[in-house]
Amino acid sequence: MNPEARKAALRFLFAPLVDKLGYKFTPVEEDADFLLEQEAALEAETGIPYCPCQARTKDRAENMRIVCPCIPFHRRHYDAMKRCWCGLFVHKDVTDPDKLKQIPENKLDLTDAH
Ligand code: SF4
């Protein structure tokens, strides 16, 4: 499948999944397009639409936690940021994703305190 068609297919597949989790695609179309392109390339290479922003390891079980959309595996972390790690998905009420910060999980408690 050509990359553009696969990007469209991933969009179609992911939209209802993330909708049920309270998320939507980022309204920054350029970012969504770029990230989907990376995912389509990873999928073409590995057979799996891995996260374009998180490194794979040799541990298959660990790698399954970064198959897109990985929100269920990182719910607390992403809900606190109102975005997934890459920013491909944001909470449904987000209108300006540029205002959201990418916060490492181990820094969450500090940020939660404010
Ligand atoms: S961080 Fe976002 S783009 Fe990356 S796999 Fe998870 S849901 Fe997909």
* Predicted pLDDT at 1: 76
Average pLDDT over residues 23-36: 98
Residue whose C-alpha is closest to residue 90's, from 28, 11, 48, 8: 28
Q: What type of residue sits at position 64?
A: M
Can you give the CATH number for the domain in which 64 is found? Answer: 3.90.460.10
Residue 51 alpha carbon to ligand 1 centre in Å: 5
Average pLDDT over residues 39-45: 96
* Predicted pLDDT at 114: 46
C-alpha radius of gyration, the chain, whole number:
14
* Predicted pLDDT at 91: 98
Residue 113 alpha carbon to ligand 1 centre in Å: 26
Average pLDDT over residues 66-94: 97
pLDDT at 112 exceeding the cut of 70: no
Q: What are the residues facing 67 on neighbouring strands?
A: 50
Please give the tally of structural domains in the chain. 1
Average pLDDT over residues 97-106: 94
Look up residue 89 and give its two tokens: 């998905």
Mutation test of ligand 1: which of 11, 24, 89 has the most ligand atoms closer than 8 Å to its C-beta? 89
- CB of 85 sitting under 6 A from ligand 1: yes
> What is the average pLDDT value for the chain, to the nearest integer?
94
pLDDT at 111 exceeding the cut of 70: no
100 CB neighbour count, 10 Å cutoff: 15
For 24, the domain range is 3-112
Residue 31 alpha carbon to ligand 1 centre in Å: 12
